[in-house]
Amino acid sequence: MTDRQSLGHGYAKDPWCVYFSGRKVQGALAMTFDVLSDNYAKDPWSVYFNGEKIEGASTKSFKTLSHGYGKDAWSVYFRGRKIQDASANTFEVLSDGYAKDSWHVFYLGQKVKDASTFSFKLLRS
């Protein structure tokens, strides 16, 4: 018999450990583990994506956005990876994998070369 409880988004826990897709999440504190959305989760000391710790992410200010994007007070992340040169203060998710800040346009977490944040618009077919 197991005390394992499903938390959603691939996460589960028992009284002692947290799991993602059946693998133990190293260092996660089961008692205070909180599943967010888009496979992000956190405890008081770390933020996780797909069960892997996101180095440097702030648990106090981290929040999920949508479509795999998340941010804390200083950095922006796509599927758990820090997006270089993204401004957390001005970052916004558009749709279809696109996002932008005051200086750059991003697609799936990568800068779109030569795209202007002022004129960039998504076209619908």
Query: pTM of the predicted model, to two decimals?
Result: 0.90
Chunked in runs of 10, what are the mean pLDDT values of the chain (125 residues)?
84 96 96 95 98 97 96 98 97 95 97 91 77
pLDDT for 125: 56
Contact assessment for residue 105 and residue 95, using Cβ atoms and an 8 Å cutoff: no
**How far is residue 89's CA from residue 87's CA, in Å, rounded to a whole number?**
5
pLDDT for 124: 76
With tokens 């070369």, the residue in question is 113
In order of 1, 4, 96, 123, the CA distances from 62 in angstroms are 35, 26, 22, 31
Contact assessment for residue 31 and residue 25, using Cβ atoms and an 8 Å cutoff: no
**How far is residue 22's CA from residue 113's CA, in Å, rounded to a whole number?**
39
